[in-house]
Amino acid sequence: MSARRILIAGNWKMNGLSADATALAGGLAEKLKGAGAVNFEMLVCPPAVLIPVVAKAIAGSTMQLGGQDCHMNAKGAHTGDTAAAMLKDAGCGYVIVGHSERRTDHAETDAIVNAKAAAAHANGLIAVICIGETEAQRDAGKTLDVNGSQIAGSVPEGSTAANTVIAYEPVWAIGTGRTPTSAEVQDVHAFIRAELAKKIGAGEAAKTRILYGGSMNPKNAKELLALADVDGGLIGGASLKVDDFWAVATSA
């Protein structure tokens, strides 16, 4: 059995107001409390403005809290951005960096993602570094090339199993209801772990959690989470309903 603890992470994206956040996070926290000892860790990543609301709703539970992005710099003239230290101060233990929506909408390159992950590490946050190929890249047979080069470029020096989680999210599977086959997911995850070993050493890579993301839901979670190199999920749509997200977690 793997020593890697399953991480079930919810990316709420730009969804919800205070009342929704309180109900969703509070409902999940209650389920976690009621379940007692579980074999997985749960994380919710609400929009930045809702982090204090969620921190309050999950108080006293083991639910983890994360941001959806952070700036690479510590502070200063960066209107609209959030520093890693601010996330930490607000109660976060994690931050997602390099989500494909940020890579696309905000032109984030591997170098930018790398600097953001380094800022997260410097402030005691675990960076959830997202990588994944587009449909065109997949169709061109470039899936491994793309993911290999994103690992090489996006994972900063000083990354360890303790401060880093990788999320493999095929861009074409996000929000589409489509997923790769289980065999494809396992192959890419094993490849990612091997590429990670080149960067951080085989010992750390073996301990690092690699999540699958892209249309994971209560129906397909069990099969995906059972794969040897899949150590959890990064979940968008299905993380917005208490019962769906809990069903994904408990299928681990």
The contact set with ligand PEP (CB under 6 A) reads: 11, 169, 174-175, 213-216, 234-238
**Cβ count near 5 (within 10 Å):** 12
Helix (H, G, I), strand (E, B) or coil at 241: coil
Asked whether the beta carbons of 15 and 24 are under 8 A apart, the reply is no
Decide if 30 is catalytic: no
Give min distance, CB of 11 to ligand PEP, in A.
Answer: 4
CB nearer to ligand PEP: pick between 126 and 238 = 238
Asked whether the beta carbons of 189 and 181 are under 8 A apart, the reply is no
Q: Tokens 């959830």 appear where? A: 128
Spot the catalytic one: 99, 101, 108, 133. 99
Give min distance, CB of 169 to ligand PEP, in A.
Answer: 5
Helix (H, G, I), strand (E, B) or coil at 129: strand
**H-type alpha helices, 123-240:** 135-139, 143-154, 182-200, 202-207, 221-225
Spot the catalytic one: 41, 108, 169, 195. 169
CB nearer to ligand PEP: pick between 232 and 236 = 236
CB nearer to ligand PEP: pick between 196 and 245 = 245
Q: Which residues make beta-bridge pairs with 233?
A: 8, 212
CB nearer to ligand PEP: pick between 13 and 193 = 13
Give min distance, CB of 168 to ligand PEP, in A.
Answer: 10
What whole-number distance in Å separates Cα of residue 24 and Cα of residue 28? 6
* Residues that are catalytic: 99, 169
